[in-house]
Chain A
Amino acid sequence: MALLEVENVHSYYGNIHALKGISLTVEKGEIVTLIGANGAGKSTTLKTISGIVRPRVGTVTLDGEDLSQFPAHEIVGKGLSQVPEGRGVFARLTVMENLELGAYIRDDGKQIAEDIERVFGIFPRLKERQKQTAGTLSGGEQQMLAMGRAMLARPKVLLLDEPSMGLAPILVEGIFETVQTINKEGTTVLLVEQNALMALQIAHRGYVIQTGEIVLHDDAKALQKNETVQKAYLGME
C-alpha cells in the first residue's frame, strides 16, 4: 500500500466542479509531481489532501489512515505538511519564530532544536538571518524559510505548492536542488508545479492534470519524452 493514496476525489467550490475524480498515489521515498496549466486543479488537489477543501466524494488516506474525518489542523499532526502557494511566511515574525511555529504540533523541545540546526544545515542563509523578520527576506529566502518550516513538523509527506512561483530562474534551480536534498534525507515529496520542465527533471513519477482530471500518468523520464506533454507543457514543438 502506498504512503499517500488519493482515490476518486471530487471537490467543489460552491457549484463549480473543480476536481472530477482524481486518483493518485505517492510511495514512500518518492518525489511525485503533479503538473498542469493554470486552473487545472493542481492547488485544489493539494488543498483537498491537506483538508482545507473537503471532497464530496472519494478518500484520502495517509499510511492507511483515512484523513477525511480530521479537520485541517489535525492533519498536520498525522504527518502531512504543506508549503502554501506564495510561500506564506509570517512576515512580521523573525525567521526563528517562523521555524518554531513550524514545529508547533511537536513538544519535544530538544529534538526541535536539533531539527532547526538541521534546517540551518540545508539553508545556511536562514541561519545568518535568523533574527531578521521574514518580510525582509528576499523571495528565494522566503521560499527556503517556508520549506524549512514545513520540515520542522517532521512530515511523512511534504506538499509543495508551486515553489518556483515568482522566483528568478537561477533561484528556481537552487530550490529544486534542495527539494532533492530533502528527499534524499528521507522525506517523501508531492510537488505541484507549473514549471513542468524542472519538476520532471527531479521527480520520479508524474501526473498530468487537465480541467480537474488526471489525463496522463507515467515515469518522469517517460513524460519528458511524451509528445503531448512536450507540446503542451514543455514548450517544445
Chain B
Amino acid sequence: MTINWKQIGQYGFIMGIAIWYVCLVGMVETFDSRGIIDGTLFTLGRALLVVISLGLGYVTAMKVSDGNFGMGVMGSLISGVIGAVMTVVLVLAIEPLNMRAMFVNASTSLIEILTFEMESQATGLTILAAFIVGFSVLGGIIYLLPSLPRRAIISGFSAVLVMGMLGELLTVVLGRFDLTEILSDFLYGRNGLSIPGAISIFIFFAVVSVLWATQKDSLQSGVENLPPTQRRTLSWALIVLSIIVLILLPQAVGPYISQILVLVGLYALMGLGLNIEIGLAGLLDLGFVGFFAIGAYTVALMTSTGELGVSGTAIADYSNFWVAIPIAVAVSAFAGIFLGIPVLRMRGDYLAIVTLGFAEIIRILVLSDFLRPLLGGAQGVLNIPKPAVAYAQQIANQLPWYFQTVFFFFVSTDGRIKDPAHFYYIIVIGCALISFVAWRLQNARIGRNWMALREDEDVAEAMGINLIASKLLAFGIGAAFAGLSGAIFAAQVGSVFPHSFGLIVSINVVSLVIIGGSGSIPGVIVGSLVLVGLPELLREFAEYRLLIYGALLVVMMLVRPEGLWPSETTRREMQSDEDIEPVPVGQTAPRSV
C-alpha cells in the first residue's frame, strides 16, 4: 500500500495557509474577545483554528485512509504537523521580518493569543503546535469512527459552536419570558456558553442526531403504514400546528427577529417569482429587482401623503394600500411582459445581459432629472403611510377576549399595520398564497410548457408548445410576484429610494433560488431563510461578515450543487450518476446525444 504523500502534503499546506490567512486579516485577534464557552480559552478566535485544523484533518483522513484506520490517522497527523509548523513559522517570523509594516494585524497581541498567553514563547509554541496537531488528528479520528458516533460528535460540536456564537441574540430572545430566561441563565455565562450549558447542548444535540438517524426510517414507514384516514388527520394536525407556530412566532421572538423574518419573506416572494423564470422556464433573469422597484414605486406614488403622492387629487379618497397592492402587481406583470417582448429570441447568457440592462434602465430612469418631478429622483418618495385596517377597534369589540388578543397580533390597537410583527403576518399570508399559486401553476399545463421550454426550446416547439405565450407568461407572472414583494416593502419601510433597488438585490434573489434548489418551491423558502438569515446570524463576525458569507456560499455550492431542497428533476439528475442501469453490449454509451 502506498502512502499518498501528495494529498497529505496538499491538505497540510492548505491548513497552514488558512491559518495564516485568518491570523493576518485580523479575524483571530478580533474574535478573541468573544467567548464560545465562558471562562475558558475556547474563544471564537481560537474556534477558527479549531475548525480549520479539525476540518482539514477530517478531509485528509477522508482522502487518504482508503478504509485503513492507521493510514487515516497518520495522514491527518502529518497534515496537522505541516499546518502546525507553518503556524509556528508565522509566529516566529512576525517580529524579525517586521511583518506589521505590511500586515497591520500581525501584532504582539496576535502572538499572545497564538501562544496561549504563556510567559515563555517556547512553551506557548509547543502548546500551539500540539493544539493544531491534536485537533487535526481528532478530525481524522472522527472521520474514521463508525457513522453513528461520528454523526453524534459532529452534530454536538457544531451545535456548541453555533449556540455559542449566537449567544447574544439568543439571550435577548430567551430573556423575553420568565420561563425561558431560566433556560438562558443556565445555558449562558457572561461571555458565551456556561460549562454545564455547553455540555448539555453537546449531549442533547448528539442524542437527537443519533435518534434521528436510527429512528427516521421506522418513523417514516410507521406513518406510511397508517390507514389513510389517520394519515389525513395527521397531516391536518401538522398543518394546524404549523399555522399556530407561524402565528405565535413573532410574539415569541420579538421585534428584531420579526424584522429579519419580514426581510426573509420579501426575498422569498421575489424568489418564488424568479423561480418561475429560472427554475421552471429556464430564463436567466438578472434584472429581477426592476419589477420589485416597480411594485414599490406604484404603492409609494398611490399612497404617499407627501407632494409626490395622490393626496389632493381626485382619486385620493379611494387610494390606499389595499387598493394599491393589486394595481402594483398588475403594473409589474405588465412590465414583465413588456420586457419579455424584445427578448423573446434571446437565450441563456444573452438574455441575462439584456435583463441586467433592463434593471439598470429602471434605476437610472428613477434617478434621472427628467422623471424627478414624478418620482422624486435620488430623494425618493417619502411619507408612505402604514396600511390601515378600517374599523379594527369595532371588529375587535365583537370578538371574545382570546380572539381579541390574537386579533391584535395582526394589527395595532389604533388599527394600523405598523410593527415588524404586523408586517410579518402580511408577508406570511402573501408567501402562502403565492406558494400555492406557484405550485398549482407548476403542475398545470403551463408548468409543462415551461419545463419543456427549459429543457429544449426547439423540441418544445416541435411538440406544439407556443413558445411566445409561454415565455411571456413566465415573465409576467414572475414579475407580478416581485411586484407584490415590492409593494409590501414600500409600505413597511415608509419611503422608497432608488438606491434600495441595486444590482445586489437581483444577485441575492438569483443566489437564493439556486442555493435553495432551482425549480423547487420549498427550496426557495429554505434558500431565502439561509441567504437572508445567515448574514444576520453572522453579525457576530462584524466586519468579516461578508467574507465568511461568501466562503459559506462557495462551500455550499461545492457540497450540494443541487441546492438545499432540490426539485424532483434535479434530484433525479444528481442520483442518476450513481445508478445508471448497465447498458447491454452492442449499444452506444448512455448520455451520448
Contact = CB atoms under 8 A, between A and B. Distances in A.
A93 B465 contact: no
Contact of B462 (A50, A129, A140): A50
A171 B463 CA distance: 25
Nearest to A107: B445
Contact of A93 (B464, B569, B590, B591): B569
A133 B573 contact: yes
B462 A133 contact: no
B86 to A, nearest CB: 45
Interface string B562-593: 00000001001100100011010011111111
Residue from B455, B462, B587, B590 with most neighbouring chain A CB atoms (10 Å): B462
Contacts of B461: 52, 72-73
A76 B572 contact: no
B583 to A, nearest CB: 5
Contacts of A84: 458-459, 462
A87 to B, nearest CB: 7
A104 B465 contact: yes
Interface in A93-127: 93-94, 97, 100-102, 104-105
Interface in B524-581: 569, 572-573, 576, 580-581
A82 B464 CA distance: 10
Interface residues of A, number: 44
B541 to A, nearest CB: 38
Contacts of A202: none
A168 B592 CA distance: 12
B123 interface: no
Interface in B445-463: 448, 451-452, 455-456, 458-463
Nearest to A137: B590
Given A90-B455, A101-B463, A104-B448, A135 B588 contact: no
A138 B588 CA distance: 6
Contacts of A137: 590
Given A101-B452, A168-B586, A153 B463 contact: yes
Contacts of A138: 583, 587-590, 592
A76 B463 contact: yes
Contacts of B593: 86-87, 89, 91, 135, 139, 142
Contacts of B448: 100-101, 104
B281 to A, nearest CB: 14
Contacts of B465: 73, 104
Interface residues of B, number: 30
Given A142-B593, A168-B586, A136 B580 contact: yes
A133 B572 contact: yes
A73 B587 contact: no
Contacts of A39: none
A92 B586 CA distance: 24
Contact of A92 (B466, B467, B572, B583): B572
Residue from A77, A92, A166 with most neighbouring chain B CB atoms (10 Å): A92
Contact of A104 (B456, B464, B467): B464
B462 A94 contact: no
Given A167-B588, A168-B587, 17 more contacts: A72-B462, A82-B462, A90-B452, A92-B573, A93-B569, A101-B460, A135-B593, A136-B591, A138-B588, A138-B590, A139-B588, A139-B592, A139-B593, A140-B587, A141-B587, A166-B588, A166-B592
Interface of B: 448, 451-452, 455-456, 458-467, 569, 572-573, 576, 580-581, 583, 586-593
Interface of A: 50, 52, 71-74, 76-77, 81-82, 84, 86-94, 97, 100-102, 104-105, 129, 132-133, 135-142, 149, 153, 166-168, 170-171
Top-7 shortest CB links A-B: A76-B464, A105-B464, A139-B588, A90-B455, A88-B459, A138-B587, A104-B463
